[in-house]
Structure 1
């Protein structure tokens, strides 16, 4: 496939000699965490800063996965890049890609995915850790932003597959928060209606024990475009609680 280089990032990357696959592969950087070696190859993430602009440079070698798109295997970044592009086309707020490319070098399959860093944004997980320090107005704005994000996701007939606090990023605005998603590798089409929607939302609630029922109702009110005391929200709470109990037993 042809390399992707976002028009908005081209000049900056080329100014630093990083506008192509070989240069990005050879760039010496310190990894932000331990390499992942679960698929028989390796995959690693690096921080790249250029003139005040932050990026995450992800490189992998022989880190393959089987998909319907590529039943004999493809780099996991390939699927993630397709999903990033799909989210952008569908208008779902999510991280943006600056570069994507693949190479086969003497039997080795290499892939690079460069994404723009969400500097100035907080992941929901970190906000939950200081939930008691936030005001009621902030709580309400965060619930509303998360509910609206889920509504746009499912309204576009997509299931995130890892709708966890650490994958939801929020930024304060003048009148609330805006939210977007990262880690789109497991995204798939929403095929089974209500079941898929409940299955996608429940892990978020399970990983946010700080939220009380009134706050969950706020989130669902934004998601379903209902008043917080709606009987429809009662039904959703029953379904989500049942699934949470089932997952807890397992």
Structure 2
């Protein structure tokens, strides 16, 4: 019998791995070939009306000294999601995940709730934000992005694929102008580093190269805020 090595339910009445595997939705990321297998993402609607995203993988593996023969990347992504949540970094809510072998090949699933009201950083700078992007709102965005990434890196986690399309932003309106929230997606390349500086250098260099429509002036504001958070927290982090 194939061994079910990872299985989690947000609610006890949710379907088993086989039933989740049979569910089909609209492809938002068509299956692509990589890592010796294929991986894609479908959009689903739940009975409660909640929008879900299902990542479906076949033979899509990562290898490490702990797993020289390969393990599904979904398992590494779930580990990262839980670790980042403990660091108070917003990530999608986990609904279900599982991985098992079928005819000698790994199948894996990851189901998460949609980030309602969020747009990608790429869309934000393209003018797709639900709210008009004032200078103050944009400053809040850069501050929250700096805070989010400083928490990530001080925890010695490197995102590994830090593009604007994987950074999501939401404006919470209020009478005083509201506040901005930042979330991170696509964590399957996320990994722990021995030192925070290595995680920081690689992610920030990658984000800078792919920042797209983000103006240079905004980048400088972000970096200044990021460095302030790092300097303020790092001494306490070292003592811990």
Q: TM-score, normalised by structure 1?
A: 0.79
Root mean square deviation, CA, Å: 2.3
Change (3 A) 1:218 1:176: farther
Distance (Å, rounded) in 1 between the aligned partners of 2:49 and 2:31: 26
Select which of 12, 16, 20 maps to 2:16.
Answer: 20
After TM superposition, list the pairs within 5 Å mapping 1:169-180 onto structure 2: 169-173=168-172, 174=174, 175-180=178-183
Change (3 A) 1:199 1:44: closer
User: SS where residue 35 of structure 1 aligns?
Assistant: strand
- Is the helix fraction higher in 1 or 2? 1
Change (3 A) 1:76 1:194: closer
**Tell me, which stretches of 5 or more residues in structure 1 are unaligned?**
227-231, 233-250
Segments ≥4 residues shifted beyond 6 Å: none
Which residue in 2 is equivalent to 1:59? Answer: 56
Deviations 1:76-104 (A, max 9, x none): 11111111122123332222221111122
User: SS where residue 186 of structure 2 aligns?
Assistant: coil
Distance (Å, rounded) in 2 between the aligned partners of 1:28 and 1:209: 33
Which residue in 1 is equivalent to 2:236? Answer: none
Q: How many residues are paired up?
A: 219
**Tell me, which stretches of 5 or more residues in structure 2 are unaligned?**
232-240
- Greater displacement, 90-99 / 52-61: 90-99
Change (3 A) 1:196 1:101: closer
- Is the strand fraction higher in 1 or 2? 2
Bigger relative contact order, structure 1 or 2 (CA pairs below 8 A, ≥6 apart): 2
Deviations 1:205-238 (A, max 9, x none): 2323544454233212321227xxxxx9xxxxxx
Residue 94 (str. 1) matches residue 100 (str. 2): no
After TM superposition, list the pairs within 5 Å mapping 1:1-250 onto structure 2: 1-6=5-10, 10=11, 14=13, 18-50=14-46, 51-130=48-127, 134-173=133-172, 174=174, 175-225=178-228
Q: TM-score, normalised by structure 2?
A: 0.82
